[in-house]
């Protein structure tokens, strides 16, 4: 399905269960033509270490009875790290005694083992349906590690030769490979619009347009090229309209 990219994690010390879920996820990818990457971890500790590098995923099938740190411990860490970004957690367990402990983590689902293919397919479909329009992610690689930036977090992007400096609402700048044109082509529907040959802005963060300059919410001022003025006004207006629907 065009536009839906999913990075799935399976975390379970039961290697047989991991193999089955990984196989079913890949089957779903083929049947539904969804862009899915799947990684497997056999302990909470290895995933936590990976997360420290900026490792990024959208959904996790998470066993509760992991050695050392439990799946519930790991679930709390995931929710804290990704905050409102809502990584979808599907808990799996051989025991049905955890319901109250899971409540605060708001998991997408809970399955008793043995888990079946139909369960996994339903979970994947639910994620796709729920996130079709609001989970656009700018994905990139950094030293072999897959990372991502939510488009809604991007304030503006500046092109520097073959690289892009991506400025986000947490005050950080991330440098990635790419071009302004490709970003606008891929994410224009999310109010990313080119305003200058070297800049694209997120209309969500435009405060004012004064004397051919955009004033952004972080205080940044960007000059608008003459040929981009009309497009900027159209996209900014569309964002304002959509926000008040």
Dump pLDDT digits (tens) for 123-134: 999 888 776 545
The closest alpha carbon to 50, from 136, 144, 138, belongs to: 144
Residue 2 pLDDT: 46
Is 60 exceeded by the pLDDT of residue 70?
A: yes
Task: Please state the pTM of the whole predicted model.
Answer: 0.61
Q: How confident is the model at residue 135 (pLDDT cuts 50, 70, 90)?
A: low
Q: How many CB atoms lie within 10 A of CB 180?
A: 19
Q: Which residue has the tokens 């991330």?
A: 174
> How many Å apart are CA 108 and CA 126, to the nearest integer?
9
Q: What is the mean pLDDT of residues 192-220?
A: 94
pLDDT reported for residue 216: 96
- The pLDDT, as a whole number, for residue 28 is 95
Both tokens assigned to 209: 């347009």
Of 51, 68, 149, the closest CA to residue 60 belongs to 51
Q: Taking all residues of the chain, what is their mean pLDDT, rounded to a whole number?
A: 88
pLDDT computed for residue 198 by the predictor:
95
pLDDT reading at 74 higher than 70 = yes
Burial degree of 114 (CB within 10 A; 0-12, 13-18, 19+):
exposed
Within 10 angstroms of residue 56's Cβ, the number of other Cβ atoms is: 21
Query: Comparing 110 with 241, which gets the higher pLDDT?
Result: 110
| Average pLDDT score over residue span 175-188 | 91
Q: Is residue 214 classed exposed, middle or buried when 0-12, 13-18 and 19+ CB atoms within 10 A define those classes?
A: buried
pLDDT band at 97 (very low <50, low <70, confident <90, very high): confident
């Amino acid at each position: 399905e065009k536009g839906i990219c999913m990075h799935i994690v399976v975390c379970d010390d039961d290697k047989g269960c991991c193999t089955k879920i990984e196989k079913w996820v890949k089957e779903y990818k083929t049947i539904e033509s969804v862009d899915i990457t799947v990684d497997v971890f056999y302990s909470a500790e290895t995933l936590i270490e990976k997360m420290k590098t900026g490792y990024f995923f959208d959904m996790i099938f998470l066993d509760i009875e992991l050695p050392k740190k439990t799946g519930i411990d790991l679930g709390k860490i995931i929710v804290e790290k990704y905050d409102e970004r809502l990584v979808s957690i599907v808990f799996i367990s051989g025991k049905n005694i955890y319901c109250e402990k899971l409540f605060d983590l708001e998991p997408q689902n809970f399955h008793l083992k043995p888990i079946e293919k139909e369960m996994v397919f339903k979970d994947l479909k639910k994620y796709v349906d729920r996130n079709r329009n609001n989970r656009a992610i700018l994905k990139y690689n950094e030293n072999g590690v897959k990372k991502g930036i939510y488009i809604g977090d991007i304030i503006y992007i500046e092109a520097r030769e073959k690289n892009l400096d991506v400025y986000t609402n947490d005050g950080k700048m991330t440098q990635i490979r790419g071009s302004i044109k490709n970003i606008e082509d891929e994410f224009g529907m999310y109010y990313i619009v080119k305003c200058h040959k070297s800049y694209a802005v997120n209309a969500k963060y435009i405060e004012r347009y004064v004397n051919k300059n955009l004033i952004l919410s972080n205080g940044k001022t960007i000059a608008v090229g003459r040929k981009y003025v009309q497009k900027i006004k159209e996209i900014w207006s569309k964002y304002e309209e959509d926000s008040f629907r």
